[in-house]
Structures are given as structure tokens and as C-alpha cells.
Amino acid sequence: MPKQPPDQRWHIASPDPARVDTLVAATGLAPLVAQVMLQRDITTPEQAAGFCQPETLALPSPLEEFEDLGISIDFLGSAIEDGEKIGICGDYDADGMTSTALLIRALRHLGADVQYAIPSRMKDGYGINATIVQEFAEAEVGLILTVDNGIAAIEPIALAAELGLAVIITDHHDLPAELPPADAILNPKFLPPTSPYRGLAGVGVAYILAVETARALDQLEGLAPVLLELFALGTIADLAPLVGVNRCWLQRGLRYLPHSQLAGVQALIQVAGIHEEKALKPDDIGFRLGPRINAIGRIGDPQVVIELLTTDDPGTALERAMQCEQVNQRRRDLCEQIEAEALALIASAGVDWRSQRVLVLHSSDWHHGVVGIVASRLLERYGVPTFLCCDEGAGRIRGSARGPAEFHVFEALEACRDLLLKHGGHQAAGGFSLTTENFAAFQQRLSEFACQCLQPEHLKPLINIDAQADLDQLTLPLYEQIDSLHPWGMANPEPRFWTPNVRLLEQRIVGKNHMKLTLEQTTAAGPVQMKGIAWRWGEYCPLPPVLDLAYKLKRNVWQGVETVELELVGARLPVAPLDTEIAPPRRPYPFQQRLKKMHWLPPLPRLIPRCHRRSPSKKPPSPARIVTISAICASQTANSVSVMPRARCWRYSVGSELACWEPVGRRRGK
């Protein structure tokens, strides 16, 4: 029996034919590509040209945008000239580790005496702390640089000032009500929303500081390409919005990465199985390189990644890359284990997430470093805010949260402030800790908050779709035009299309719970077939034979032949089924009821009454004389079923002009 497709809600962008035609006429783009651009607020030929060629973007000088950048360069220049030790405090995620490596490489290139510290995810939590400040002071560090953290670290920065240490904060997180007493602060959140620098990640801020300092000291030559590689790694791994300078610099960095000057990046590409001759795309970083870096920060020692990205020795680099690979495999195993346990807990405990409108789960055995990943998977599956918690000892619980677009995670945590020990985050994600005795009240408070901001229709995963397409439109030339809109990421998501009434000719499970499909759509030019893949959809196999499908386009190369295939992201029962032209249902005839018992047949209640109205002289066969069903055909213009009572074969047809039973021949042997 076919299974139901994933329970989703689709948001399909409204088409704008007039504006599409205008953009097509001015640019020569395919209508589907023009529609995608309009969804990204690209409405003029000039904007389209700039988007497809971001390196032509005219950028203001960072010195004009960042008020404290000049002061920061002066501090660094003086420290380097005086031989003063510089301490870098990074973070344990990919953005923080690549930022740290970037500044280490840049400052060593400039002749600085550099050391670094990264807090432990499990022991210290996020950001610079008093212990790190004390250790820097004991090591006679004179200047502290924070990267990807520090904007809310009032007490540690105040301690540094008391100890006589200068501090430059480079961060990109939201500004708190009170700023720490640093000597200089570089944060793009100070800039207006229209600034091309507004969306920088932590690694982007570090890149600006490094490049402008090297330029001021006249030592930039040969350094920029290396820094751009690290900028690209960190920006994509941190899911920074790929617009403005991010898009411009990322495209440059992606050109350097396949033939990287960094031994660590070369080794990482090797262990990830990426072909060196292949042009790297954000997907390669986001799904292959990034996870291997992030896994270390989640369940390993960040020093491994720093050594990987700062060493020039190929042997050391390969050794560290293999460590990343091993830790990443353990991370995968942990995620699969925790996800399976969470699903079992939901089933066994009868968790009523629909009425509670939030999913809050706790297990003492789960690893805190990966519960955020599993929370994202459960959000994708159920579409409800998900809070996963584990024990951290001493009667404390620690957790990570992920939420849909209509739910603000940080505001939900703020509503529970009196129950929490620590919390932080933003609209889509957050982290928190609390005592064990407050957990039940925490669950109840979150449910009350969710019920206020989420309606029942929100309790499904949301699929955003750019445009409707027919399969015969999905050609290699179209794919090339869409590919020119790279890089994909936040603020420039990969385009998604949908096609109605697609037949699933073949579907099978491959690999670890994935589906391979052969698809067909009847278009004006005739039937068109394409291949498709659906990741982690094995539980839905077999799907119904006809569906509306939502998908992304992928290039497939097999034995030297290039084709376009579909990567499914959504499926639903047809909103406009193939028999929409058939009359509304009436009371079924007895032989129809008999046909309906044959579950492999599509329902036929709309067929027979119309037959009798239109052609009463040609009566259908008696139910007792029905022997077999010989054929069923369906399309938007015709439906037919053939039956064989005794010697005659009868066919019932429904088309735009005719609907009747007709004899079509005699049975063989009669």
C-alpha cells in the first residue's frame, strides 16, 4: 500500500508575469530564472548583472564603515612594533575556529608574537571568560583580540582592563543593552541595514581587521588569497547571509580553495573525497568540509582545527584532517543514535506535540555537543519548536533549541528567564541551562508560549517554493543559468520549484534510507521523464503513484553524460488531480463498489453516472459479467477502464468531448 507523503505546508511565491517578461526582455534570462530573481528583490537589469557578477560590486572602504577600525589597526601596529604579546580568544564553532586561524596566520605574517585560547564547549561554555583573561595576563599578553565573541562579555573585559590589558572585540552577534569596556569594538551590527558589510560573520570581521592592518603595514602581498580561503570556510559554515561583501568575497575564495595554498585545506579536501579538479561550491563546504570542522568543536578539541588550518607541514595537516574525519564519523553516529532515541521516546511516552505545540525532550545519556543538530532534524520532521536537553551533572540540565519561522526561540527563553540559569540565542536557535527541579515548569511555560504564537496550521514543516515548472523546462541550459546565481546560502537560498501531477514510475530505497525515483509528467509536447533523489525519505516508500513534487535542480554526470535530476524537498497529494474535468461524484453503481474494493485501482465514482447521462443507449455490463480489469489509463484529457464480460470487451472512456461505454472487440478464444 502506498504511504502518505511528508506532512508539509507549502508557501508558493505568487507569479508576476508582467515583471518577469520585463526582466526576461532586458536580460535574456529564462522566465524561471527571472522569477527566482524577483523573489530575491532583484528587479532591474543592473541588479541582475551585479548579482550574477558580484565581484563588480562597488564597495565602500571598511575604514569608512567601521568606526573603531582605525583605532584597532593602531593598537595592532603598535603591539607588533613593540614586540608585545597578542592573545586571541576564539570560539569552538566553525566561524570561531576559522576566525582564530585567520588572525593567527595574518599576525604571524606581520611578525607578531601570537597565542590563542578557545573555551571548552563542555566545561566553559561560549565566549571569553575570567579564566582565559587571567591566563593571558600570566603569560604577559598585552593585547587581547576576541573573535566571534565578546560583545556581551562585560565582566571578563572589565577584568582585563583592571589587569592593564588592552582589548579589541571583533564580533557579529546582536548588540546588548550595555557594551563591555573594550578599547575598540568591531561589529557589523553597528552598521545600517543597507550596508554591504552588515551580514558579515565573525570570520568576515576578522578578515577586514587582518587585511586592513596588513595594508597599513604594507605587507598585504601574498596574504589575501590565504585569508580569503579561511573567510570562505567560516562564512558558509556559519550560515552567514550570502549577499553584499559576503557574496563578493566568497566567490573569490571559492576559486582559491580547490588548489589551496593551505596544507590543512588540501588535506581536508582529500579526506572528504572531493576531487581537486572540481570547482568547489558552498554545498561542498556546508555539507562536507564544514561538518568535519564543526564536529571537532562539538565533541572534540578545537586545537586540532587550529593546528590543521595554521600548519604548513603536509604530514601534520593530513594527521589533523584524519582526526577531523574520525570525530565527524563519531558525530554522525551520535546524531543517528540520539535521533532514534528521541523518536522512540516520542512514541513510547505518547508526547502530544500537536496540542502542546512544542517538543521538549530530555535524556541523561545524550551528548550536549550534538543535540542541536538533532533538534534541527526533529524540527524538519515535525515542524514544531524543538528543545532537546541532557544532563550536565550537579543537578543541572543543559539544552539546545531550534524553531520555525513563526516562533522566536530567544523570546521563548526570555519568557522562561526565572527558570533558567543561563540562556542565549536568536530567533531560530538558542541554548540554555536550568536545574532539574525546574524542568517540568520549563516544559509547561514553553507550551504556553508556543500556544500563543503558533496556530494549528503552523505545526508542519514549511517549504518555500519560488515557481511552478514543467519537467520539459528543466534543461541543462536552464540549470547553467540557475547555477550562475551561486553561491547559495542564507538570504540567497537555492531555488525550489514545483511540478503538479507527476507520476512516480519507479521508486526504490538506496543507501542509508534514501529514495531513487523515475518521474514522468505529461506536457504539451508529450511525456517527459526525469530521475530524482529524496534524501532520508526511505520511511515514505512507496509513495502514491501521482504527486505534486517540490524540488531543487542538480547536475548529474554518468559515464560522461550530463543530465539534470531533481532533489526532492517536498511532496503532496495533487491539489489539482488528473481527473479534475470529470463530473462530481454521485451515488456509485453496484459494480463501482466492487471495483473500489480492488485497492490497487484509483477510485472511479465520477465515471459511470456521466456515462449514463451522456450515452444512455449504451449500457454498461452487468456486475455479474465482469471478469477482469484489463487496463486503466489516466491523463488530464482522458480516463478509461476496460472490462471483459464473457465474449465482449467493453471500454469506458471520459474525454473532453465523449464519455460512454463502447464495445472494443471480442475476447480471444471466443
141-147 and 85-89 beta bridge pairing: parallel
Last residue of a domain, one of 460, 489, 504: 460
Opening angle at CA 259, ends 267 and 477, nearest 5: 120
- Among 259-263, 424-428, 532-536, 617-621, the minimum mean pLDDT is found in 617-621
Say if residue 483 is in the same domain as residue 441.
no
pLDDT of residue 226: 95
| Domain at 467, CATH number | 2.40.50.460
Tens-place pLDDT, residues 42-76: 988 888 888 888 877 788 999 999 999 999 999 99
| Confidence check: pLDDT of 137 > 50 | yes
126/229 same-domain check: yes
Distance CA 405, CA 124 (A): 30
Alpha-helical segments (H) within 1-93: 17-27, 31-39, 45-52, 62-65, 69-82
CATH number at 359 reads: 3.10.310.30
Of 243, 308, 225, give the one whose Cα is nearest residue 486. Answer: 243
Nearest to 225 by CA among 134, 370, 106: 106
Do 216 and 247 lie in a common domain?
Answer: yes
- Nearest residue to 235 via CA among 203, 207, 260: 203
Residue type at position 503? R
Last residue of a domain, one of 426, 460, 494: 460
Q: Determine the structural domain holding residue 178 and report its residue range.
A: 62-328
49 belongs to a structural domain: no
Q: 204 CB contacts (<8 Å, ≥6 apart)?
A: 172, 188, 197, 231, 234, 235, 240, 245, 246, 249
User: pLDDT, tens digit, for every residue of 561-578?
Assistant: 899 999 999 999 998 655
Tell me, yes or no, whether 427 and 438 share the same domain.
Answer: yes
Residue 3, domain member (yes or no): no
Does residue 232 sit within a domain?
yes
Q: Is the peptide bond before 241 cis (omega within 30 degrees of 0)?
A: no
Average pLDDT, the chain: 85
CATH of the domain at 237: 3.90.1640.30
CA dihedral 572, 576, 578, 583 (to 10 degrees): 140
Q: Give buried/exposed letters for 474-506 (b at 16+ CB in 10 A, else e).
A: beeebbebbeebbbbbbebebbbbbbbbbbbee
Q: Which three cell numbers stand for residue 538?
A: 526511505
H helices of 455-600, where? 476-483, 590-596
Structure-block grid coordinates of residue 355: 496540542
- Within-domain flag for 265: yes
Share of the chain above pLDDT 70, in %: 85
What's the pLDDT band for 559 if we cut at 50, 70, 90?
Answer: confident
Q: CB of 433 within 8 A of CB of 368? A: no
pLDDT in tens, 203-247: 999 999 999 999 999 999 989 999 999 999 999 888 888 888 999
Tally the domains of the chain. Answer: 4
Note the pTM of the prediction, 2 decimals.
Answer: 0.77
Question: Is residue 599 packed enough to be buried (19+ CB in 10 Å), middle (13-18) or exposed (0-12)?
Answer: exposed
Give the pLDDT mean for 544-552: 96
User: Is position 106 within any domain?
Assistant: yes
* Cα 357 from chain centroid (whole Å): 23
Same domain, yes or no, for 161 and 105? yes
**322 lies in the same domain as 361:** no
Q: Which residue has the higher pLDDT, 396 or 2?
A: 396
Domain end point (choices 546, 572, 598): 572
| Whether residue 85 is found in the same domain as residue 213 | yes
Shared-domain flag, residues 211 and 280: yes
234 φ/ψ angles, rounded to the nearest 5 degrees: -70, -40
Residue 622 has pLDDT above 60, yes or no: no
Residues 394, 306 share a domain: no
CA 147 to chain centre: 25
117 burial class (0-12, 13-18, 19+ CB within 10 angstroms)? buried
pLDDT score for 277: 58
Q: Are residues 520 and 621 in the same domain?
A: no
Q: Which residue has the higher pLDDT, 255 or 622?
A: 255
In a domain, 633, yes or no: yes
Q: What are phi and psi of 602, to 5 degrees?
A: -70, 150
**CA–CA separation, 493 and 273 (whole Å):** 25
Helix (H, G, I), strand (E, B) or coil at 154: helix
Distance CA 628, CA 620 (A): 14
Q: What is the pLDDT of residues 465-482, one digit of tens each?
A: 999 999 999 999 999 999
For residue 558, the SS3 value is: strand
Does residue 506 share a domain with residue 358? no
The answer as to whether 654 is a domain residue is yes
- Whether 192 maps to a domain, the answer reads yes
The H-or-E segment that residue 578 falls in is none
| DSSP characters over 237-269 | HTT-B-SHHHHHHHHHHHHHGGG-S-HHHHHHH
Give the span between the Cα atoms of 311 and 321, in whole angstroms. Answer: 11
Question: In this structure, are 450 and 478 located in the same domain?
Answer: no
**The cell 472511479 sits on which residue?**
604
Instruction: Take residue 7 and report the three cell numbers written for it.
Output: 506532512
Question: Side-chain half-sphere of 471: how many Cα atoms within 13 Å?
Answer: 23
Q: What is the largest CA-CA distance in the chain?
A: 107
Question: Bridge partners of 400?
Answer: 388, 431
Is the pLDDT score of 329 beyond 70? yes
Q: What's the pLDDT at 278?
A: 61
pLDDT at 612: 39
pLDDT band per the 50, 70, 90 thresholds, residue 197: very high
Q: How far apart are CA 283 and CA 390, in angstroms?
A: 31
